[in-house]
A and B are shown apart, each in its own frame.
Chain A
Amino acid sequence: DVKVTQSSRYLVKRTGEKVFLECVQDMDHENMFWYRQDPGLGLRLIYFSYDVKMKEKGDIPEGYSVSREKKERFSLILESASTNQTSMYLCASSFSLAGGRYEQYFGPGTRLTVT
């Protein structure tokens, strides 16, 4: 069974704090992704990585950075948390396949509240 785990289900942080969200997958997937999910806005891609130490900006990278030192682990970093980063954060992973069938497997999500 594919498993994607995230370090916390719920997190409360103060404005200005540095926040680390961790994601681990056990399927040897090449690709890993970070999304945020907000009501009415769907899933928006923050960053993704297609290989160790490689990263690409998604659609909303401002205020975030990522790190991928090992294939199974992908971290999302909020350098200085702000209240508009309060959201549900979802990690996903997938194999690199030709033809577009990029079936993604999601973790359970981290609900981050910044006060």
Chain B
Amino acid sequence: GQSLEQPSEVTAVEGAIVQINCTYQTSGFYGLSWYQQHDGGAPTFLSYNALDGLEETGRFSSFLSRSDSYGYLLLQELQMKDSASYFCAVSGGYQKVTFGTGTKLQVIP
């Protein structure tokens, strides 16, 4: 089976940098994804890492270490609109994605 661990809540100041960590245990692993979900909204895809290293997309970056079964999402120049829940998710076989329990990010002025 698959299990993922991520912090339940993180608070950060507007303009700062925040890192949301994710560790996983899985019986089959293709890669790690991140999704964002605003309150009352649907999850939306942010990034995907299949290989070790850092992937950058604007203010957001995502990192993967396959040997450590660990990844993180890095948000820079935080804005109030970044307040949301962030889910890491592992891709396994059969087109399945298993989601973590989510990290609620609160950005404060």
Contact = CB atoms under 8 A, between A and B. Distances in A.
Contacts of A45: 96-98
A99 B50 contact: yes
Contacts of A92: 43
Interface string A96-107: 110111111111
Contacts of A56: 94
A43 B99 contact: yes
Contact of B31 (A40, A100, A106): A100
Interface in A64-96: 90, 92, 94, 96
A48 B50 contact: no
Interface in A29-75: 30-31, 33, 35, 40-45, 48, 50, 56, 58-59
B48 A101 contact: yes
Given A101-B48, A103-B45, A109-B42, A48 B95 contact: yes
Q: In which size bucket is the chain B interface?
A: 20 to 34
A106 to B, nearest CB: 4
B25 interface: no
B42 A102 contact: no
A101 B101 contact: no
B69 interface: no
Contacts of B44: 106
Say what secondary structure dominates the interface of chain B.
loop
B24 interface: no
Interface string B25-42: 000011101010000011
12 contacts: A42-B99, A45-B96, A45-B98, A48-B96, A56-B94, A58-B96, A101-B31, A101-B91, A102-B96, A103-B45, A104-B45, A108-B42
Interface of B: 8, 29-31, 33, 35, 41-45, 48, 50, 87, 91, 94-102
Given A30-B95, A43-B99, A109-B42, 10 more contacts: A48-B95, A48-B96, A50-B94, A58-B96, A100-B31, A101-B91, A102-B91, A102-B95, A104-B35, A106-B42
